Amino acid sequence: MKTNLFFFSATGNSLIIAKDIAAQLPETQIFSIPKIIDQEIDLNVDNIGFIFPVYFSGMPRIVIDFINNFELSKTKYIFAICTCGSFPMRTLLQVQKQLRTKGMTLNAGFSIQMPGNYLVKYGAFSIEKQECMLTKEKEKVATIVKMIMNQQENRIERNNFLMNWIGNLAYKSMLPKFPTLDQNFNVNDNCNSCNACEKVCPVQNIKIMNGRPNWQGNCEHCLACIQWCPTEAIQYGTKTNDRKRYHHPEVLVKELYRES
């Protein structure tokens, strides 16, 4: 049984889930969505999974675009896993709806709580809380793998109607604003021109000019640049100056480079 996993990850949470699934599921290949978004991929497989974070109660733009360009009509089993610091809201129902418009079915949808990384609002969780969440991730992945092996369907994971409704309002309000939210990034004198931010940006929105990053107004608002900056030279307004950064402890930044 062959499986293709397509992931989008800014700080490594979704990547590690893809890796953990592949380690337990024979004949599984992992693909980074930013790397292959313009490529043709062999979809002659039994299972296809999408793994990505929740952004403001919904799907990231890059994942929406990727699925819109996908033809999965011959795939027997399609599943999605969303990662979130708190709640999945209606994110997986959004995937289900998008697939239906293409004549396809989301057979299973799972959410996994992972350490939050939205530095604009909060700093990294405590090490103790991170370790607890990462342990639970391993446990849930083991359950998910068994379901994939059996091509088992589930009730798509979501929150209650009221939370989904409120989340949907926030999502529809914020999503159109994402591209230009990069106007709030700034760089201090700690910058050493390492270019990590440019390389890790999933949508090539950062260009290095005169040794400093410049954002181009097409931001995914994933915050990979600020979280992976080795000198913490990148800030978001003045909110992030004293906030602790986060990226998954088992992931290296080069694993998330768009071009490697």
Residues of the chain with CATH 3.30.70.20: 176-256
**DSSP secondary structure, 24-76, as one string:** HSSSEEEEEHHHHTTS-----SSEEEEEEE-BTTB--HHHHHHHHT---TT-S
On the question of pLDDT at 42 being above 80, the answer is: no
CATH hierarchy code of domain 176-256: 3.30.70.20
The structure's pTM equals 0.96
Neighbours of 235 (CB within 10 A): 19
Q: How far is CA 216 from CA 102, 183, 255, 260, in A?
A: 32, 9, 23, 22
Determine the Cα–Cα distance for residues 135 and 133; give it in Å rounded to an integer: 5
Q: Say which amino acid occupies 252.
A: L
Q: Quick: pLDDT tens for 51-102.
A: 999 999 999 999 999 999 887 667 889 999 999 998 989 999 999 999 999 8
**Is pLDDT above 90 for 246?**
yes
Residues of the chain with CATH 3.40.50.360: 3-171
Which class would CATH give 3-171?
alpha beta
